[in-house]
Structures are given as C-alpha cells and as structure tokens.
Amino acid sequence: MVFFLCRSRCQKRVGYLTWDEYFMATAFLSAQRSKDPRTQVGACIVSEDNKIVGIGYNGMPIGCSDDVMPWGRDSHDVLETKQLYVCHAELNAVLNKNAADVKNCRIYVALFPCNECAKVVIQSGIREVIYYSDKYAAKDEFKASRRLLNIAGIKLRQFQPERKQIVIDFGSIEPRQDVANQITGMTISQTPSVN
C-alpha cells in the first residue's frame, strides 16, 4: 500500500497551468477587485524570470471614494461619467509595482490597452503586451494605441487560451478523506507501542 501511494503521488501532475494561463488568470482575478459595474479589467506585469512585479485593476484614484465618484458611462454631462476619473488597470499595475522598474517586462491584460495606457506601457519600459480581447479595435483610441506600440517596438500578442475556464476551489487544499484515512491508518499501524 505504501508503494501504491508513493507511485501515484510521486509523479509530476499533468494539466497544470502554463505560464501564460497563470499570469492571464492573475490579471482576470485582480479584475474582480474593480468596483466598475460595467467593465472589470485587470493587469499583471511579469519580469523576464516569470516573477509577478505588478498587479492592477481599473478603479478610482486612491483617496477618491468609490461611493461618491460617478460610475456611469453615458451622461449628457461628461463630468458625471467615469471616463475622466478611472485609473486603468495598466496604469495601476505600473504604479503599484514591487520592483525598482518594469523594464523588459511583459504585461498581461484582459483588454487591449487604450492610447493612454499604451503611453504608460512604452514609458515604463515594458517590452511585450499579452491581451485577451481586442473588442474595441475599431475605435480611434485603440487604433492610436496599436500605432504607438508598433512604432515603439512593443511586441503584441493575443492570448489564446487552451482551456475555457480556470476554477479556484478553496476546498481543494483539504485532503481527500480516503487518502487521509489511509495515511492515518498507516501511521497508527507503524507506530511502536510504548508501555
């Protein structure tokens, strides 16, 4: 029985996340922190040696209450829309970096960066943008973004997921009951009795 447990538990697990899946999932997970009722975007900056050095999501600037700032997208008064106030995920990821700089890093984002975020990416020294969706490609600010990034020599790559979803199961850390019983049974039977 010991051989069986070791044999099944001592081999490398298959089906684990690729680096791209891991970092894009991190961007998607950070997007869940956004208070934006319509669009939640996350970004994850990664160093050349696959270390996360920055994470961000779209939200209001620090010190500006989410409860008093406008979250609408359409209004006759532009001052009552979110566009003039929200910090995008890419900007927050760069500003919240935990490294001296992000030169030669890559950034994973849910949406292709707008022109303002493209400027931040270029100025910060990021060398590659991996994006999930380019659904706004026909809009001028995204055409300008692509133009800026191309002229600056930033590598652009659309993320092609190998799986449809990644599930986070908080219960997975608990041992399976059948394995726990086998291990407990082995421990008890192999423990010498003390008289």
Tokens at residue 82, please? 């979110």
Q: Strand 106-111 to strand 52-57: parallel, antiparallel, or no bridges (unpaired)?
A: unpaired
Question: 90, 116, 128, 174: which one is catalytic?
Answer: 90
Tokens at residue 167, please? 């599930």
Q: What is the spatial distance between Cα 8 and Cα 14, in angstroms, rounded to a whole number?
A: 12
Of residues 128, 129, 125, 124, the one with CA closest to residue 113: 129
Q: Strand 128-133 to strand 106-111: parallel, antiparallel, or no bridges (unpaired)?
A: parallel
Our answer to whether residue 90 is catalytic in this structure is yes
**Residue 22 burial (CB < 10 Å; 0-12/13-18/19+)?**
middle
Give 3's contacts (C-beta < 8 A, 6+ positions apart): none
Residues assigned a catalytic role: 90
